[in-house]
Structure 1
Amino acid sequence: MIPDKNVLIELAHTKMPFGKYKDHYLIDLPEYYVVWYHSKGFPKGKLGDMLRQIYEIKLNGLEELIRTIKKQYPK
């Protein structure tokens, strides 16, 4: 399945809305922080879905893909 381009663009430009890493892009969150959410449970709603996607991206070593998208499709 090919991900929707707009979903990836939104994911590349979304920032953490709260906590220690508030205003950091989700893709730039430290891996340990995303793994912690994975073990404790992701937030409900869209943010949780996005953090789940970030977890899978980091797990598979695809961070550079999202960083490239962020550069190619500036907001």
Structure 2
Amino acid sequence: MKNLFDQDYLIKLANTKMPFGKYKGYDLINLPEHYIVWYKTKGFPPGTLGKMMSEVYELKLNGLEDLILKLKK
């Protein structure tokens, strides 16, 4: 979670879109909680996308998504 202290990374997290699936085009931070939880149990995708989705999971779990929503362009 070191990246969560980097402002540029947080802005990127706030504006990254889901590239595939049922919620293609949604901002990761706006994905429904049940979808993120499903991925948590299934396994997040590899690479940067999976890392970001994992961080969105932690943010939602702790009720902190509003902090990221303020960074949206």
TM range (shorter): over 0.9
Aligned-partner Cα distance in 2 for 1:49–1:60: 17
Cα RMSD for the two superposed structures: 1.2
- Equivalence for 1:62: 64
Q: TM-score, with normalisation over the residues of structure 1?
A: 0.90
- Larger radius of gyration, structure 1 or 2? 1
Name segments (4+ residues, structure 1) moved above 6 Å.
Answer: none
Identity in percent? 59
Residue-by-residue CA offset, 1:6-47 (whole Å, 9 max, x unaligned): 110000000000000000000110000000000110000000
- Could you tell me how far 1:69 is from its partner in structure 2? 1.1
Q: Which residues of structure 2 form unaligned runs of 5+? A: none
Q: Which runs of 5+ in 1 are unaligned?
A: none
Q: Which residue of the partner structure matches residue 23 of structure 2?
A: 21
What TM-score results when the alignment is normalised by the length of structure 2?
A: 0.93
